[in-house]
Structure 1
Amino acid sequence: MSSGAAGTLGGENSVGGGSTLKPYLKRKKSSLGETKIAVLGAEGVGKSALSVRFITKRFIGEYDQSTENKYKYRTVVDGEEMAFEVLDTRSLNEDCGAREDVLRWADGYVLVYSMICRKSYLMLQEVQKKVEEFRKGTSIPIVVIGNKADLAHMRQVTHEEGQTFAESLGCPFLEVSASEDVTNVTEAFHSLCREIVDFKRRSRTFFERVFGAFGKEKVTS
């Protein structure tokens, strides 16, 4: 674990089947020191491996894909302590986990595809549409990850395609290996954290400016 980081792995399992996540995904406004991240992608792309690799620095190859888990983790990013909540989503009917309650809950999204599965890459195009429709034009922090870089000899998605997709979203892009590359996995989540903090600061400044103006008008009227 990196210097200054203190991590704990605490999962909160959702109920299986087609049930909703709403009982434990109640949306609460998070502070600058809190970051809620939803990991989205097709089944088998390595969402769980990436999430647990980031939180514990360990690689586990096999997971139960019938459940969703929410992990809590505290660490230091750029000298500031951050409280992460990472939702490892389950893909139901190829929705990549991009359901309304998930999209509402998260401060930002990790979009994951497998470099050795072109279908998983193409499915993210639909996720992009869902996010844009739900957010109604509001920008949202995102990072795109091409996982399984250790199997690059079986690649079905070029680096340029991943980069172009990320550029269309205006977000960072990394190719990583959850099994071999803890440094880049960590950097992907930290990069999204920075995007989220910057987004919150800009949003807060905007509202302070707007409501501050209303307050002045009220006082001077």
Structure 2
Amino acid sequence: MSVGPERNLGDNATGGQGALKPYLKRKKSSLGETKIAVLGAEGVGKSALSVRFITKRFIGEYDQTAESKYKYSTVVDGEQMAFEVLDTRSVNEDCGAREDVMRWADGYVLVYSIVSRKSFNLLQEVQKKVEEFKKGSNVPIVILANKADLEHMRQVTSEEGQTFAISLGCPFIELSASEDVSDVTDAFHALCRDIVEYKRRSRTFFDRVFGAFGREKVSS
């Protein structure tokens, strides 16, 4: 089953596919808005995780030739939060980490499959691209190791995933999109909290800088 263009994904959610540029025009998001890009190699379960978070339903098959952006409103820690989730398409193993995607997003879900060593190795390259683009800033990230239900086919150990996350200072969750709806929700909510905190810190910094600049102009 595939998620089609402009398909209704639930009471508070909408989904759409199409050209990337029109819906990635960057607008400054408020504290009550969260833009999340889901990055990872083809076949790791990016679409399943995105739709699982938004609808709580599991869908196993998707059209991997198109990208989808979903809008979803829910309550996180007692506050209404408007999510925009971009389920990216991996082109030539770029894992969806293109410049327009990275510029658009407030934070990133990095996904690999525990049954694919290649997907884990590619994700480490994606992290480097994100850091380079964001100029080394501590941008909000969560790492998801998907397909934990396929333990008998495992190629990447839990310890490797945890070590990778520790090196980035970000949360790490090993889960199954098909079985662990609560873990999927927790992962997106954790990233949302980090994004809100990141925005608050950034705004405080700029307020101090531009506030001081304004005072200097007045005194001169």
TM score, norm. by length of structure 1:
0.93
2:172 aligns to what?
173
Q: Secondary structure, in 3 states, of the residue corresponding to 1:209? A: helix
TM score, norm. by length of structure 2:
0.93
Cα distance in 2 between the residues matched to 1:35 and 1:7: 19
1:95 aligns to what?
94
Letter paired with 1:199: Y
Q: How many residues align?
A: 211
Counterpart contact for 1:7–1:75, Cα < 8 Å: no
Letter paired with 1:151: L
Matches within 5 A, 1:3-82: 8-15=12-19, 21-82=20-81
Shift of 1:14: 2.0
1:3 aligns to what?
none
Shift of 1:45: 0.3
Cα distance in 1 between the residues matched to 2:35 and 2:27: 10
Shift of 1:152: 1.6
Cα distance in 1 between the residues matched to 2:219 and 2:94: 52
1:202 aligns with 2:201: yes
Q: Secondary structure, in 3 states, of the residue corresponding to 1:203? A: helix
Unaligned stretches of 5+ residues in structure 2: 1-9
Letter paired with 1:212: G
2:4 aligns to what?
none
User: How many percent of aligned residue pairs carry the same amino acid?
Assistant: 79
Letter paired with 1:122: N
Closer, same or farther in 2 for the Cα pair 1:220/1:7, shift >3 Å? Answer: farther
Matches within 5 A, 1:146-161: 146-161=145-160
Cα distance in 1 between the residues matched to 2:29 and 2:16: 18
Cα distance in 1 between the residues matched to 2:18 and 2:168: 30
Shift of 1:91: 0.4
1:215 aligns to what?
214
Cα distance in 1 between the residues matched to 2:73 and 2:11: 5
Shift of 1:7: 5.1
Shift of 1:130: 1.0
1:121 aligns with 2:140: no
Letter paired with 1:52: V
Counterpart contact for 1:7–1:55, Cα < 8 Å: no
Cα distance in 2 between the residues matched to 1:176 and 1:81: 26
Shift of 1:69: 0.2
Cα distance in 1 between the residues matched to 2:81 and 2:184: 17
Shift of 1:133: 1.6
Unaligned stretches of 5+ residues in structure 1: 1-5, 16-20
Counterpart contact for 1:90–1:97, Cα < 8 Å: yes
1:18 aligns to what?
none
Cα distance in 1 between the residues matched to 2:107 and 2:48: 19
Cα distance in 2 between the residues matched to 1:132 and 1:10: 31
Counterpart contact for 1:147–1:177, Cα < 8 Å: yes
Cα distance in 2 between the residues matched to 1:11 and 1:56: 11
